[in-house]
Amino acid sequence: MKHVRGSLEPTGPHACADVHHVHTFTEENDMTANAQTSQTDSVTTVFDVKGMTCGHCEGAVSSEIGELAGVSSVQAVAATGKVTVVSAAALDEEAVRAAVDEAGYELVGKA
């Protein structure tokens, strides 16, 4: 997993960065977020996440949740604070909470 947080620390963990500085990072996450699931038996869950303000935030949250077992697609939207996750089975909310926490944000709960 790539982390760009080190380059953002001088201005805080939730600081918005110039998109050009995190292009590779967000490009990877865009692929994850836009992945289409071919499973017919999938579960879609929408979560509320507090603290996302930009594309970097969306990418960080998508990347961490995307690493959870069974997750096939993640789409985070900073403007609404919503994160839509498609997975093979229902996800353990505490595992999602830990992933969101690792990204530096707060899981409010299911939307």
Going from the N-terminus, what domains does the chain have, and what CATH number goes with each?
A: 5-110 (3.30.70.100)
pLDDT at 62 over 70: yes
Q: So what's the pLDDT on residue 41?
A: 87
CB 29 within 8 A of CB 59: yes
The pLDDT value given to residue 4: 42
| 10 φ/ψ sector (left φ>0, alpha ψ -120 to 50, else beta) | alpha
**Is the model more confident about 2 or about 70?**
70
Alpha helix locations (H) across 1-87?
5-8, 23-33, 55-66
95 phi and psi angles, rounded to 5 deg: -70, -40
pTM equals: 0.66
Regarding predicted confidence, which is higher, 89 or 24? Answer: 89
Give the C-alpha distances (Å, rounded to integers) separating 14 from 58, 100, 111: 11, 13, 22
Comparing 48 with 41, which gets the higher pLDDT? 48
**Residue 12 amino acid letter:** G
Average pLDDT over residues 25-54: 69
- pLDDT, average across residues 55-83: 98
